[in-house]
Amino acid sequence: MKRWFGFGTTALGAAVLLTASGSVLAQTKGGDVVIAITQAPPSLDAQVTSAQAARNVTLQIYETLYARDENAKPVPELSEEAKISADGKTYVFPIRKGVKFHNGKELDAKDVVASLERYRKVGASASLLSAIDKVTETGPHEVTVTLKDVQSTFLDNLSSPRAPIAIYPAEEAAKPANQINYIGTGPFRFVEYKPDSHVKIARYDGYVPNPKATGRDGLAGKKEVFLDTVTFRFMPEAGARSAAFEAGEVQLLETVEGATAKRLESDKRYVVYKVLPFAFQVIKFNHAQPPTNDVNFRLAVQAALDMEEIMAISYPDINQIDGAWLYPGAPFYTKTGTEKYNQADLNAAKALLAKSGYKGEKLTFIVDNLRANTDTATVVQQRLKDIGVNVELSVADWPTVSKIGFTPNGWQFWAHGYGIEPYEGPASVMAPWVNGTSQLKKDDKIDSLSAALNSAMDEGKRKEIFVEFQKHMYDNAVAMKAGNYGLFQVGTAKLKNFKPYRIPRMWGVWLEP
Protein backbone atom coordinates (compact mmCIF):
# COMPACT_ATOMS: atom_id res chain seq x y z
CA MET A 1 0.00 0.00 0.00
CA LYS A 2 2.81 2.35 0.99
CA ARG A 3 4.54 1.60 -2.28
CA TRP A 4 1.51 2.87 -4.17
CA PHE A 5 1.06 6.05 -2.25
CA GLY A 6 4.79 6.64 -2.56
CA PHE A 7 4.57 6.25 -6.27
CA GLY A 8 1.49 8.46 -6.39
CA THR A 9 3.38 11.24 -4.62
CA THR A 10 6.29 10.89 -7.03
CA ALA A 11 3.93 10.91 -9.99
CA LEU A 12 2.14 13.96 -8.62
CA GLY A 13 5.47 15.69 -8.12
CA ALA A 14 6.50 14.82 -11.65
CA ALA A 15 3.17 16.09 -12.96
CA VAL A 16 3.63 19.38 -11.08
CA LEU A 17 7.15 19.74 -12.44
CA LEU A 18 5.93 18.92 -15.92
CA THR A 19 3.18 21.51 -15.67
CA ALA A 20 5.56 24.09 -14.24
CA SER A 21 8.21 23.44 -16.87
CA GLY A 22 5.51 23.54 -19.54
CA SER A 23 4.83 27.15 -18.80
CA VAL A 24 8.39 28.19 -19.55
CA LEU A 25 8.70 26.12 -22.72
CA ALA A 26 8.02 27.73 -26.06
CA GLN A 27 4.48 26.93 -27.07
CA THR A 28 3.96 25.91 -30.66
CA LYS A 29 0.74 26.75 -32.40
CA GLY A 30 -0.73 24.39 -34.97
CA GLY A 31 -0.81 20.71 -35.72
CA ASP A 32 -3.30 17.90 -35.54
CA VAL A 33 -3.33 15.49 -32.64
CA VAL A 34 -4.91 12.12 -33.28
CA ILE A 35 -6.24 10.34 -30.21
CA ALA A 36 -7.11 6.65 -30.45
CA ILE A 37 -10.24 5.87 -28.46
CA THR A 38 -11.75 2.45 -27.98
CA GLN A 39 -15.28 3.15 -29.09
CA ALA A 40 -17.31 5.75 -30.91
CA PRO A 41 -19.37 8.17 -28.84
CA PRO A 42 -23.02 7.09 -28.95
CA SER A 43 -23.98 10.72 -29.52
CA LEU A 44 -22.39 14.16 -29.68
CA ASP A 45 -25.52 15.67 -28.19
CA ALA A 46 -23.78 16.02 -24.82
CA GLN A 47 -26.98 16.22 -22.79
CA VAL A 48 -28.38 12.84 -23.83
CA THR A 49 -25.55 10.45 -23.07
CA SER A 50 -23.50 9.61 -20.00
CA ALA A 51 -20.98 7.48 -21.92
CA GLN A 52 -17.29 8.19 -21.27
CA ALA A 53 -16.59 7.98 -25.01
CA ALA A 54 -18.97 10.91 -25.55
CA ARG A 55 -17.58 13.01 -22.67
CA ASN A 56 -14.07 12.73 -24.13
CA VAL A 57 -15.25 14.73 -27.13
CA THR A 58 -18.22 16.79 -25.97
CA LEU A 59 -16.44 18.43 -23.03
CA GLN A 60 -14.05 20.01 -25.54
CA ILE A 61 -16.95 21.46 -27.56
CA TYR A 62 -19.52 22.50 -24.98
CA GLU A 63 -19.44 24.33 -21.67
CA THR A 64 -21.74 24.43 -18.67
CA LEU A 65 -22.89 27.12 -16.22
CA TYR A 66 -20.70 25.59 -13.53
CA ALA A 67 -17.86 23.11 -14.11
CA ARG A 68 -15.55 21.03 -11.93
CA ASP A 69 -12.08 22.31 -11.05
CA GLU A 70 -8.99 20.13 -10.71
CA ASN A 71 -10.25 18.75 -7.38
CA ALA A 72 -13.77 18.23 -8.74
CA LYS A 73 -15.17 21.25 -6.87
CA PRO A 74 -17.91 23.18 -8.74
CA VAL A 75 -16.69 26.57 -9.99
CA PRO A 76 -18.36 29.11 -12.30
CA GLU A 77 -17.81 28.66 -16.01
CA LEU A 78 -20.44 30.33 -18.22
CA SER A 79 -21.99 31.88 -15.14
CA GLU A 80 -20.07 34.57 -13.27
CA GLU A 81 -21.23 33.24 -9.93
CA ALA A 82 -24.31 31.89 -8.15
CA LYS A 83 -26.20 34.14 -5.77
CA ILE A 84 -28.05 31.83 -3.39
CA SER A 85 -31.04 33.14 -1.41
CA ALA A 86 -31.10 32.83 2.36
CA ASP A 87 -33.63 29.99 2.26
CA GLY A 88 -31.36 28.10 -0.17
CA LYS A 89 -34.12 27.73 -2.75
CA THR A 90 -33.31 30.47 -5.26
CA TYR A 91 -30.16 30.61 -7.37
CA VAL A 92 -29.44 33.67 -9.51
CA PHE A 93 -26.89 33.11 -12.25
CA PRO A 94 -25.40 36.20 -13.92
CA ILE A 95 -24.32 34.93 -17.35
CA ARG A 96 -20.90 35.97 -18.66
CA LYS A 97 -21.13 38.65 -21.33
CA GLY A 98 -19.36 38.49 -24.66
CA VAL A 99 -19.23 34.68 -24.84
CA LYS A 100 -19.65 33.51 -28.42
CA PHE A 101 -21.15 30.28 -29.72
CA HIS A 102 -19.35 28.55 -32.57
CA ASN A 103 -21.90 30.03 -34.98
CA GLY A 104 -20.88 33.54 -33.91
CA LYS A 105 -24.01 34.25 -31.86
CA GLU A 106 -23.53 35.75 -28.39
CA LEU A 107 -24.63 33.68 -25.41
CA ASP A 108 -27.56 35.12 -23.46
CA ALA A 109 -30.10 34.11 -20.84
CA LYS A 110 -32.51 32.67 -23.43
CA ASP A 111 -29.93 30.05 -24.42
CA VAL A 112 -29.36 29.07 -20.81
CA VAL A 113 -33.08 28.78 -20.02
CA ALA A 114 -33.73 26.74 -23.18
CA SER A 115 -30.78 24.44 -22.47
CA LEU A 116 -31.77 23.78 -18.86
CA GLU A 117 -35.38 23.14 -19.88
CA ARG A 118 -34.25 20.76 -22.60
CA TYR A 119 -32.08 18.84 -20.15
CA ARG A 120 -35.02 18.44 -17.79
CA LYS A 121 -36.90 16.79 -20.67
CA VAL A 122 -34.29 14.73 -22.52
CA GLY A 123 -31.14 14.78 -20.36
CA ALA A 124 -29.58 11.39 -19.73
CA SER A 125 -29.31 12.31 -16.03
CA ALA A 126 -32.38 14.54 -15.87
CA SER A 127 -32.69 13.68 -12.18
CA LEU A 128 -29.73 16.03 -11.60
CA LEU A 129 -32.20 18.86 -12.16
CA SER A 130 -35.22 17.23 -10.57
CA ALA A 131 -35.15 19.70 -7.67
CA ILE A 132 -35.90 22.60 -10.04
CA ASP A 133 -39.30 24.20 -9.79
CA LYS A 134 -38.78 26.79 -12.51
CA VAL A 135 -36.09 28.41 -14.62
CA THR A 136 -36.67 32.06 -15.48
CA GLU A 137 -34.92 34.63 -17.62
CA THR A 138 -34.63 37.56 -15.24
CA GLY A 139 -32.46 39.73 -17.45
CA PRO A 140 -30.72 39.59 -20.83
CA HIS A 141 -27.78 37.98 -19.05
CA GLU A 142 -29.37 36.67 -15.90
CA VAL A 143 -31.15 33.41 -15.15
CA THR A 144 -32.96 32.59 -11.93
CA VAL A 145 -33.54 29.01 -10.87
CA THR A 146 -36.07 28.26 -8.17
CA LEU A 147 -35.95 24.93 -6.40
CA LYS A 148 -38.89 23.00 -4.99
CA ASP A 149 -36.87 22.10 -1.90
CA VAL A 150 -33.44 22.92 -0.62
CA GLN A 151 -30.79 20.86 -2.39
CA SER A 152 -27.29 21.23 -1.03
CA THR A 153 -25.84 19.45 -4.04
CA PHE A 154 -27.49 21.65 -6.68
CA LEU A 155 -24.23 23.24 -7.88
CA ASP A 156 -22.59 19.80 -7.82
CA ASN A 157 -25.36 18.56 -10.07
CA LEU A 158 -25.26 21.56 -12.36
CA SER A 159 -21.53 21.03 -12.92
CA SER A 160 -21.69 17.27 -13.31
CA PRO A 161 -19.69 16.11 -16.34
CA ARG A 162 -21.52 12.75 -16.40
CA ALA A 163 -24.04 13.76 -19.06
CA PRO A 164 -23.05 17.44 -19.12
CA ILE A 165 -25.78 20.07 -18.79
CA ALA A 166 -24.28 21.70 -21.86
CA ILE A 167 -25.47 25.14 -22.89
CA TYR A 168 -26.64 25.20 -26.50
CA PRO A 169 -27.97 28.08 -28.59
CA ALA A 170 -31.72 28.38 -27.87
CA GLU A 171 -32.63 27.32 -31.43
CA GLU A 172 -30.66 24.10 -31.02
CA ALA A 173 -32.04 23.50 -27.55
CA ALA A 174 -35.54 23.55 -29.08
CA LYS A 175 -34.70 20.38 -31.04
CA PRO A 176 -35.33 16.80 -29.86
CA ALA A 177 -32.61 14.51 -28.57
CA ASN A 178 -29.88 13.72 -31.10
CA GLN A 179 -31.24 16.19 -33.66
CA ILE A 180 -29.06 19.20 -32.86
CA ASN A 181 -26.23 20.84 -34.74
CA TYR A 182 -23.14 20.52 -32.57
CA ILE A 183 -22.70 24.15 -31.54
CA GLY A 184 -21.25 25.10 -28.17
CA THR A 185 -19.13 27.79 -26.56
CA GLY A 186 -16.12 25.58 -25.87
CA PRO A 187 -12.52 26.08 -27.02
CA PHE A 188 -12.99 23.58 -29.86
CA ARG A 189 -15.65 23.57 -32.55
CA PHE A 190 -17.09 20.51 -34.24
CA VAL A 191 -15.75 19.81 -37.73
CA GLU A 192 -16.89 16.35 -38.84
CA TYR A 193 -18.13 13.00 -37.60
CA LYS A 194 -17.36 10.02 -39.83
CA PRO A 195 -19.25 7.06 -38.40
CA ASP A 196 -17.02 4.11 -37.51
CA SER A 197 -13.99 6.23 -38.28
CA HIS A 198 -13.43 9.48 -36.39
CA VAL A 199 -14.64 12.78 -34.94
CA LYS A 200 -12.67 15.89 -35.80
CA ILE A 201 -12.74 19.12 -33.83
CA ALA A 202 -10.84 22.35 -34.49
CA ARG A 203 -9.64 25.28 -32.44
CA TYR A 204 -12.38 27.90 -32.13
CA ASP A 205 -10.59 31.17 -32.72
CA GLY A 206 -13.57 33.17 -31.44
CA TYR A 207 -13.38 31.46 -28.04
CA VAL A 208 -13.78 33.82 -25.11
CA PRO A 209 -11.96 32.42 -22.09
CA ASN A 210 -13.24 32.90 -18.58
CA PRO A 211 -11.53 36.17 -17.49
CA LYS A 212 -11.30 34.97 -13.88
CA ALA A 213 -9.45 31.79 -14.78
CA THR A 214 -5.69 31.78 -14.50
CA GLY A 215 -4.57 28.33 -15.56
CA ARG A 216 -5.77 24.90 -16.58
CA ASP A 217 -8.10 23.76 -13.82
CA GLY A 218 -10.07 20.54 -14.15
CA LEU A 219 -12.85 20.91 -16.66
CA ALA A 220 -13.05 24.64 -15.95
CA GLY A 221 -10.19 27.17 -15.85
CA LYS A 222 -8.25 28.78 -18.64
CA LYS A 223 -8.75 26.97 -21.91
CA GLU A 224 -6.05 28.06 -24.28
CA VAL A 225 -5.79 26.04 -27.46
CA PHE A 226 -2.60 25.75 -29.45
CA LEU A 227 -3.53 22.83 -31.71
CA ASP A 228 -5.29 23.41 -35.03
CA THR A 229 -7.33 20.23 -34.86
CA VAL A 230 -7.88 17.14 -32.76
CA THR A 231 -9.07 13.89 -34.29
CA PHE A 232 -10.60 11.15 -32.16
CA ARG A 233 -10.12 7.90 -34.07
CA PHE A 234 -12.36 4.99 -33.08
CA MET A 235 -10.09 1.95 -32.90
CA PRO A 236 -11.68 -1.01 -31.10
CA GLU A 237 -8.72 -3.34 -31.54
CA ALA A 238 -5.96 -2.80 -28.93
CA GLY A 239 -3.19 -4.13 -31.17
CA ALA A 240 -4.22 -1.82 -34.00
CA ARG A 241 -4.26 1.16 -31.60
CA SER A 242 -0.72 0.63 -30.37
CA ALA A 243 0.50 -0.16 -33.90
CA ALA A 244 -0.96 3.11 -35.17
CA PHE A 245 0.69 4.90 -32.25
CA GLU A 246 4.10 3.38 -32.88
CA ALA A 247 3.81 4.12 -36.59
CA GLY A 248 3.28 7.79 -35.71
CA GLU A 249 -0.31 7.97 -37.00
CA VAL A 250 -1.68 8.51 -33.50
CA GLN A 251 -0.23 10.86 -30.88
CA LEU A 252 -2.16 9.78 -27.81
CA LEU A 253 -3.62 6.48 -26.68
CA GLU A 254 -6.56 7.06 -24.38
CA THR A 255 -6.01 3.73 -22.67
CA VAL A 256 -3.51 0.89 -22.99
CA GLU A 257 -2.99 -2.39 -21.20
CA GLY A 258 -0.27 -2.47 -18.54
CA ALA A 259 1.99 -4.71 -20.62
CA THR A 260 1.95 -2.26 -23.54
CA ALA A 261 2.55 0.69 -21.21
CA LYS A 262 5.58 -1.10 -19.73
CA ARG A 263 6.98 -1.87 -23.15
CA LEU A 264 6.62 1.71 -24.35
CA GLU A 265 7.85 3.28 -21.10
CA SER A 266 11.49 2.58 -21.84
CA ASP A 267 11.32 4.33 -25.22
CA LYS A 268 12.21 8.02 -25.02
CA ARG A 269 9.89 8.83 -27.90
CA TYR A 270 6.90 8.15 -25.67
CA VAL A 271 5.57 9.29 -22.32
CA VAL A 272 3.42 6.99 -20.19
CA TYR A 273 0.84 8.70 -17.99
CA LYS A 274 -1.01 7.16 -15.07
CA VAL A 275 -4.52 8.36 -14.44
CA LEU A 276 -4.89 7.03 -10.93
CA PRO A 277 -7.44 6.86 -9.41
CA PHE A 278 -9.80 6.70 -12.35
CA ALA A 279 -12.48 4.42 -10.87
CA PHE A 280 -13.46 2.04 -8.08
CA GLN A 281 -13.70 -1.68 -8.61
CA VAL A 282 -16.94 -2.72 -6.91
CA ILE A 283 -18.42 -6.16 -6.26
CA LYS A 284 -22.17 -5.87 -5.94
CA PHE A 285 -24.59 -8.21 -4.18
CA ASN A 286 -28.14 -8.92 -5.28
CA HIS A 287 -30.17 -8.34 -2.11
CA ALA A 288 -33.31 -9.68 -3.75
CA GLN A 289 -31.97 -13.25 -3.99
CA PRO A 290 -30.84 -15.77 -1.41
CA PRO A 291 -28.25 -16.11 -0.01
CA THR A 292 -27.01 -12.58 -0.84
CA ASN A 293 -30.15 -11.19 0.80
CA ASP A 294 -28.70 -12.51 4.09
CA VAL A 295 -26.47 -9.99 5.85
CA ASN A 296 -24.38 -12.73 7.48
CA PHE A 297 -23.64 -14.27 4.11
CA ARG A 298 -22.59 -10.89 2.70
CA LEU A 299 -20.43 -10.18 5.75
CA ALA A 300 -18.82 -13.61 5.34
CA VAL A 301 -17.87 -12.80 1.75
CA GLN A 302 -16.60 -9.38 2.82
CA ALA A 303 -14.46 -10.99 5.54
CA ALA A 304 -13.04 -13.58 3.15
CA LEU A 305 -11.88 -11.40 0.31
CA ASP A 306 -8.30 -10.29 -0.08
CA MET A 307 -8.60 -6.98 -1.91
CA GLU A 308 -4.86 -6.69 -2.53
CA GLU A 309 -4.99 -9.99 -4.40
CA ILE A 310 -8.03 -8.91 -6.42
CA MET A 311 -6.57 -5.54 -7.39
CA ALA A 312 -3.05 -6.87 -8.09
CA ILE A 313 -4.46 -9.39 -10.55
CA SER A 314 -7.19 -7.25 -12.08
CA TYR A 315 -5.23 -4.01 -12.34
CA PRO A 316 -1.51 -4.84 -12.04
CA ASP A 317 0.69 -1.79 -11.47
CA ILE A 318 -2.21 0.62 -11.54
CA ASN A 319 -4.27 0.23 -8.38
CA GLN A 320 -4.63 1.63 -4.88
CA ILE A 321 -5.72 -0.39 -1.87
CA ASP A 322 -8.23 1.99 -0.37
CA GLY A 323 -11.57 1.21 1.23
CA ALA A 324 -13.00 4.72 1.27
CA TRP A 325 -15.98 5.35 -0.98
CA LEU A 326 -14.39 8.54 -2.37
CA TYR A 327 -11.10 9.28 -4.08
CA PRO A 328 -8.13 10.35 -1.93
CA GLY A 329 -7.97 14.14 -1.89
CA ALA A 330 -11.73 14.62 -2.32
CA PRO A 331 -13.19 17.11 0.20
CA PHE A 332 -15.30 14.44 1.96
CA TYR A 333 -12.67 11.70 1.79
CA THR A 334 -12.27 9.79 5.05
CA LYS A 335 -11.25 6.30 6.10
CA THR A 336 -13.57 6.36 9.09
CA GLY A 337 -15.97 3.45 8.86
CA THR A 338 -13.80 1.40 6.53
CA GLU A 339 -12.27 -0.82 9.23
CA LYS A 340 -13.90 -3.92 7.75
CA TYR A 341 -12.23 -3.36 4.38
CA ASN A 342 -9.71 -5.95 3.13
CA GLN A 343 -9.93 -8.37 6.07
CA ALA A 344 -8.80 -11.48 4.14
CA ASP A 345 -9.78 -13.50 7.21
CA LEU A 346 -11.01 -16.94 6.20
CA ASN A 347 -11.77 -18.06 9.77
CA ALA A 348 -13.97 -15.05 10.47
CA ALA A 349 -15.61 -15.64 7.10
CA LYS A 350 -16.38 -19.28 7.91
CA ALA A 351 -17.89 -18.30 11.27
CA LEU A 352 -20.15 -15.73 9.61
CA LEU A 353 -21.06 -18.18 6.86
CA ALA A 354 -22.16 -20.72 9.47
CA LYS A 355 -24.61 -18.12 10.82
CA SER A 356 -26.08 -17.55 7.35
CA GLY A 357 -28.66 -19.66 5.60
CA TYR A 358 -26.27 -20.74 2.84
CA LYS A 359 -26.51 -24.46 2.11
CA GLY A 360 -23.87 -24.92 -0.58
CA GLU A 361 -26.06 -24.07 -3.56
CA LYS A 362 -24.47 -22.80 -6.78
CA LEU A 363 -24.39 -19.00 -7.03
CA THR A 364 -24.04 -16.88 -10.17
CA PHE A 365 -21.44 -14.17 -10.64
CA ILE A 366 -22.35 -12.13 -13.71
CA VAL A 367 -19.55 -10.20 -15.34
CA ASP A 368 -18.88 -8.55 -18.67
CA ASN A 369 -15.99 -9.59 -20.89
CA LEU A 370 -13.63 -6.78 -19.87
CA ARG A 371 -10.50 -8.61 -18.75
CA ALA A 372 -10.14 -6.83 -15.42
CA ASN A 373 -13.74 -7.59 -14.46
CA THR A 374 -13.51 -11.28 -15.35
CA ASP A 375 -10.23 -11.42 -13.41
CA THR A 376 -11.97 -9.93 -10.38
CA ALA A 377 -14.77 -12.48 -10.67
CA THR A 378 -12.30 -15.34 -11.03
CA VAL A 379 -10.29 -14.32 -7.95
CA VAL A 380 -13.49 -13.95 -5.91
CA GLN A 381 -14.70 -17.35 -7.14
CA GLN A 382 -11.47 -19.06 -6.06
CA ARG A 383 -11.33 -17.26 -2.73
CA LEU A 384 -14.93 -18.14 -1.87
CA LYS A 385 -14.24 -21.76 -2.76
CA ASP A 386 -11.90 -21.79 0.25
CA ILE A 387 -14.81 -21.09 2.59
CA GLY A 388 -17.13 -23.51 0.81
CA VAL A 389 -19.10 -21.09 -1.34
CA ASN A 390 -19.86 -22.45 -4.77
CA VAL A 391 -19.73 -19.71 -7.41
CA GLU A 392 -20.24 -20.04 -11.15
CA LEU A 393 -19.17 -17.27 -13.54
CA SER A 394 -21.53 -16.07 -16.23
CA VAL A 395 -19.62 -13.93 -18.74
CA ALA A 396 -21.39 -11.97 -21.47
CA ASP A 397 -21.08 -8.64 -23.25
CA TRP A 398 -21.84 -5.39 -21.43
CA PRO A 399 -25.42 -4.80 -22.68
CA THR A 400 -26.40 -8.33 -21.64
CA VAL A 401 -24.79 -8.15 -18.20
CA SER A 402 -26.05 -4.66 -17.45
CA LYS A 403 -29.56 -5.74 -18.35
CA ILE A 404 -29.47 -8.84 -16.10
CA GLY A 405 -27.76 -6.91 -13.31
CA PHE A 406 -30.74 -4.61 -12.88
CA THR A 407 -33.25 -7.44 -12.68
CA PRO A 408 -33.85 -9.33 -9.42
CA ASN A 409 -33.27 -12.81 -10.87
CA GLY A 410 -30.36 -14.65 -12.40
CA TRP A 411 -27.44 -13.38 -10.36
CA GLN A 412 -25.93 -12.99 -6.89
CA PHE A 413 -22.66 -11.15 -7.61
CA TRP A 414 -21.68 -8.55 -10.20
CA ALA A 415 -18.35 -6.71 -10.53
CA HIS A 416 -17.70 -3.53 -12.46
CA GLY A 417 -16.18 -0.09 -12.08
CA TYR A 418 -17.60 3.15 -10.80
CA GLY A 419 -15.63 6.08 -12.19
CA ILE A 420 -17.60 9.24 -12.50
CA GLU A 421 -19.63 8.86 -9.27
CA PRO A 422 -16.72 9.20 -6.81
CA TYR A 423 -15.37 12.05 -8.92
CA GLU A 424 -18.69 13.86 -8.60
CA GLY A 425 -18.80 13.47 -4.84
CA PRO A 426 -20.70 11.85 -1.97
CA ALA A 427 -24.22 12.36 -3.30
CA SER A 428 -23.34 10.55 -6.55
CA VAL A 429 -21.61 7.74 -4.68
CA MET A 430 -24.74 7.19 -2.62
CA ALA A 431 -27.17 7.57 -5.53
CA PRO A 432 -26.75 4.07 -7.06
CA TRP A 433 -27.88 2.52 -3.75
CA VAL A 434 -30.88 4.81 -3.23
CA ASN A 435 -34.26 3.12 -3.75
CA GLY A 436 -32.42 -0.17 -3.99
CA THR A 437 -31.45 0.54 -7.61
CA SER A 438 -28.18 -1.40 -7.57
CA GLN A 439 -28.78 -3.91 -4.78
CA LEU A 440 -32.40 -4.48 -5.91
CA LYS A 441 -33.89 -4.09 -2.46
CA LYS A 442 -34.72 -0.81 -0.78
CA ASP A 443 -32.41 0.14 2.04
CA ASP A 444 -34.23 2.67 4.25
CA LYS A 445 -31.05 3.74 5.97
CA ILE A 446 -29.35 4.67 2.71
CA ASP A 447 -32.49 6.39 1.43
CA SER A 448 -32.75 8.54 4.56
CA LEU A 449 -29.01 9.33 4.55
CA SER A 450 -29.20 10.39 0.93
CA ALA A 451 -32.20 12.63 1.60
CA ALA A 452 -30.44 14.15 4.61
CA LEU A 453 -27.25 14.77 2.60
CA ASN A 454 -29.22 16.52 -0.13
CA SER A 455 -30.98 18.85 2.26
CA ALA A 456 -28.15 19.64 4.72
CA MET A 457 -26.54 22.95 3.77
CA ASP A 458 -23.91 22.68 6.49
CA GLU A 459 -20.73 21.03 5.18
CA GLY A 460 -19.77 19.56 8.55
CA LYS A 461 -23.16 17.89 8.83
CA ARG A 462 -22.85 16.51 5.30
CA LYS A 463 -19.46 15.03 6.13
CA GLU A 464 -20.97 13.28 9.15
CA ILE A 465 -23.74 11.86 6.98
CA PHE A 466 -21.24 10.53 4.50
CA VAL A 467 -19.23 8.81 7.26
CA GLU A 468 -22.46 7.18 8.40
CA PHE A 469 -23.14 5.99 4.87
CA GLN A 470 -19.63 4.57 4.54
CA LYS A 471 -19.98 2.75 7.87
CA HIS A 472 -23.37 1.37 6.82
CA MET A 473 -21.87 0.03 3.58
CA TYR A 474 -19.30 -1.98 5.55
CA ASP A 475 -21.43 -2.96 8.56
CA ASN A 476 -24.05 -4.44 6.26
CA ALA A 477 -21.79 -5.38 3.36
CA VAL A 478 -24.24 -3.63 1.05
CA ALA A 479 -21.58 -3.94 -1.65
CA MET A 480 -17.82 -4.28 -1.55
CA LYS A 481 -15.27 -1.87 -2.82
CA ALA A 482 -12.17 -3.79 -3.94
CA GLY A 483 -9.95 -0.76 -4.51
CA ASN A 484 -9.15 2.13 -6.82
CA TYR A 485 -7.82 1.53 -10.28
CA GLY A 486 -6.43 3.72 -12.98
CA LEU A 487 -5.69 3.99 -16.67
CA PHE A 488 -2.42 3.97 -18.50
CA GLN A 489 -2.30 6.57 -21.24
CA VAL A 490 0.59 6.95 -23.64
CA GLY A 491 1.50 10.02 -25.65
CA THR A 492 4.25 10.93 -28.03
CA ALA A 493 7.02 12.91 -26.33
CA LYS A 494 6.27 15.67 -28.83
CA LEU A 495 2.95 16.28 -27.15
CA LYS A 496 3.82 18.91 -24.57
CA ASN A 497 2.12 20.04 -21.38
CA PHE A 498 -0.44 17.25 -21.48
CA LYS A 499 -1.79 16.46 -18.07
CA PRO A 500 -4.07 13.45 -17.78
CA TYR A 501 -7.49 13.99 -16.29
CA ARG A 502 -10.92 12.39 -16.54
CA ILE A 503 -11.00 13.27 -20.21
CA PRO A 504 -7.96 13.86 -22.46
CA ARG A 505 -8.07 17.69 -22.23
CA MET A 506 -6.67 19.14 -25.41
CA TRP A 507 -6.49 22.72 -24.27
CA GLY A 508 -3.16 23.91 -22.92
CA VAL A 509 -1.20 21.28 -24.90
CA TRP A 510 0.89 21.69 -28.00
CA LEU A 511 2.79 19.58 -30.48
CA GLU A 512 6.46 20.09 -31.02
CA PRO A 513 7.51 19.80 -34.64
Partner 1 sequence: MSRFLVKRLAGAFVVLVLVSLMSFAIIWLVPGDPTAAFLDTSATPDQVARLRQQLGLDRPIAMQMLDWYARIVQGDLGHSILLNRSVTAAILERLPVTLSLAGLALAFALVMGVLAGIVAAVHHNRWPDQLVMSLALFGLSVPDFWLGIMLILLFAVKLGLFPTGGYVPFSEDPFGWAGTIIMPALTLAIIQVGFVARMTRASMLEILNQDFIRTADAKGLKRAEIMLRHGLPNALIPILTVGGIVAGALLGGAVIIEQVYSIPGVGRLIIGGILSRDYPVIQGGLLFLAVIYLTVNLVVDILYAVADPRVRLE
Binding site for partner 1 (CB under 8 A): 39-40, 42-43, 48-51, 122, 124-127, 162, 177-179, 194-197, 233-237, 239-240, 243-244, 246-247, 249, 396-406, 416, 418, 420-421, 428, 431-432, 435, 437-438
Listed residue (394, 472, 485, 385) closest to 433, CA to CA: 472
Q: Which is nearer to partner 1, 351 or 393 (CB)?
A: 393
Helix (H/G/I), strand (E/B), else coil: 48: helix
Q: Which is nearer to partner 1, 382 or 407 (CB)?
A: 407
Pairing assessment for the beta strands 362-368 and 390-396 based on DSSP bridges: parallel
Distance CA 369, CA 395 (A): 6
Q: How far is the CB of 317 from partner 1 (least distance, A)?
A: 24
The amino acid at residue 119 is Y
Q: How far is the CB of 493 from partner 1 (least distance, A)?
A: 17
Given a contact cutoff of 8 angstroms between Cβ atoms, the answer to whether 117 and 70 are in contact is: no
Non-local CB neighbours of 89 within 8 Å, separated by 6+ positions: 146, 147, 148, 149, 150
Q: Which is nearer to partner 1, 144 or 373 (CB)?
A: 373
68, 74, 177, 181, 229 from 120: Cα distances, Å:
20, 20, 12, 19, 33
E-state strands within 244-296: 252-256, 270-285
139, 170, 301, 411, 491 from 23: Cα distances, Å:
39, 38, 50, 52, 19
Q: How far is the CB of 52 from partner 1 (least distance, A)?
A: 8
Q: Which is nearer to partner 1, 176 or 206 (CB)?
A: 176
Q: Which is nearer to partner 1, 305 or 401 (CB)?
A: 401
Q: How far is the CB of 326 from partner 1 (least distance, A)?
A: 15
Q: Which is nearer to partner 1, 404 or 503 (CB)?
A: 404
Q: How far is the CB of 481 from partner 1 (least distance, A)?
A: 14
Listed residue (31, 1, 37) closest to 252, CA to CA: 37
Q: Which is nearer to partner 1, 116 or 225 (CB)?
A: 116
Listed residue (363, 397, 368, 396) closest to 381, CA to CA: 363
Q: Which is nearer to partner 1, 243 or 351 (CB)?
A: 243
Q: How far is the CB of 462 from partner 1 (least distance, A)?
A: 19
Q: How far is the CB of 288 from partner 1 (least distance, A)?
A: 14
Exposure letters 453-477 (e unless 16+ CB within 10 A, then b): bbbbeeeeebbebbbbbbebbbebb
Helix (H/G/I), strand (E/B), else coil: 510: strand
Distance CA 232, CA 216 (A): 21
Distance CA 196, CA 508 (A): 28
Q: How far is the CB of 435 from partner 1 (least distance, A)?
A: 7
Distance CA 369, CA 394 (A): 10
Q: How far is the CB of 406 from partner 1 (least distance, A)?
A: 7
Q: Which is nearer to partner 1, 316 or 432 (CB)?
A: 432
Given a contact cutoff of 8 angstroms between Cβ atoms, the answer to whether 231 and 32 are in contact is: yes
Chain-centre distance for alpha carbon 200: 23
Non-local CB neighbours of 245 within 8 Å, separated by 6+ positions: 36, 251, 253, 270, 490, 492
- DSSP-assigned letter for residue 388: T
Q: How far is the CB of 242 from partner 1 (least distance, A)?
A: 9
Q: Which is nearer to partner 1, 77 or 421 (CB)?
A: 421
Write the Ramachandran bin of 126: left for phi over 0, alpha for psi from -120 to 50, otherwise beta. alpha
Q: How far is the CB of 339 from partner 1 (least distance, A)?
A: 26
Given a contact cutoff of 8 angstroms between Cβ atoms, the answer to whether 174 and 114 are in contact is: yes
Q: How far is the CB of 245 from partner 1 (least distance, A)?
A: 9
Given a contact cutoff of 8 angstroms between Cβ atoms, the answer to whether 488 and 261 are in contact is: yes
Q: How far is the CB of 248 from partner 1 (least distance, A)?
A: 9
Q: Which is nearer to partner 1, 92 or 478 (CB)?
A: 478
Q: Which is nearer to partner 1, 342 or 438 (CB)?
A: 438
Given a contact cutoff of 8 angstroms between Cβ atoms, the answer to whether 274 and 500 are in contact is: yes
Q: Which is nearer to partner 1, 229 or 400 (CB)?
A: 400
Strand partners, 217: 220
